[in-house]
Amino acid sequence: MPGYIELKIAVTDSLQKEMLIAQLSAIGIIGFEEEKNLLKAFIKEDEYNEFESKDIIKQYGLTFSVSIIEDINWNAEWEAAFKPVVIANFCTIRAGFHEENKSVKHDIIITPKMSFGTAHHATTYMMVEEMENLEFTGKAVFDFGTGTGVLAILAEKSGAGSITAIDNDDWSINNAIENFNSNNCSKILLFNSQEIPSNSIYDIILANINRNIILQNLETIKQHLATNGVLLLSGLLTGDEALIIEEARKHHLRLKHRKEMDGWICLVMINS
């Protein structure tokens, strides 16, 4: 049975960690441990692409080491490190073994596995913050790249009439199903797919992915977004903003509001 590759990357600040986590996640790295000046990244030995990993780390001029370790009980690892995320009095995102937070409007339970989207990352945190400012009641919502499913869950708890969620990662699909069940969700349709269902129009589209996927899909997103519908984007670094806004304007998507956190941005756009 194959073991795991462990990358130990010497980092100098938290922003480097955040950017590395986002970029390494995109190439299949499934787990991370953060220490003060060190980021540990884990991937199955038979799925490790040495050249892709090196190219990403070299961008930052950082030193790193590679070693093989035995199989890991990921659930035990995450349960030991997973802490509840509290976003003002709007939402708590926690595991089932944490106590319920009765002081917030929405209490979301997720199983802490390796899917992206626990709100510990700035992009998910900002998406949740911005969702508080949207009117979901009775709306048709699309969650592009659902990960843990936390945004789809929050959309249902916020009163959405229907939610369609997609992801093309089997681990994320299985984790999202588990999380939908834990939160008694009944309005979410989940598909293992990379494409928005044809002939569907949505009032709100949530896309917490990455720059390249957003750019590749902006035209399609526009076609499936209702007039005056809202597009909420994240997974973007501050350096991505000008390119995203320029491309959005070509499709008559107007920037209404932006938020920035730890070098990442969240954009609220209107289909005008």
DSSP symbol at 119: S
How far, in Å, CA of 248 to CA of 202, rounded?
Answer: 17
Strand 106-109 to strand 140-144: parallel, antiparallel, or no bridges (unpaired)? unpaired
Question: Looking at residue 198, what is its pLDDT?
Answer: 86
Model pTM above 0.85: no
What is the average per-residue pLDDT within 246-253?
96
Q: Which two tokens stand for residue 24?
A: 């390494």
In sequence order, which residues have a C-beta less than 8 Å from that of residue 239 and are 6 or more positions away?
Answer: none
Residue 78 binned pLDDT confidence (cut-offs 50, 70, 90) = low
pLDDT tens-digit map of 152-205: 999 999 999 999 999 988 878 888 999 999 999 999 999 999 899 888 999 999
Percent of all residues in the chain with a pLDDT value above 70, rounded to a whole number: 91
Return the structure tokens found at 56. Answer: 């990403």
**Contacts by 243-251 with C-beta closer than 8 Å and gap 24+?**
243/211, 243/215, 244/211, 244/214, 244/215, 247/215, 247/218, 248/218, 251/218, 251/219, 251/222
Among the residue ranges 113-117, 130-134, 166-170, the one predicted with the least confidence is: 113-117
Question: What average pLDDT does this structure show over 220-236?
Answer: 96
Categorize the per-residue pLDDT at 16 as very low, low, confident or very high, splitting at 50, 70 and 90.
confident
CA within 13 Å, CB half, 75:
7
Kindly tell me if the per-residue pLDDT of 27 is higher than 80: yes
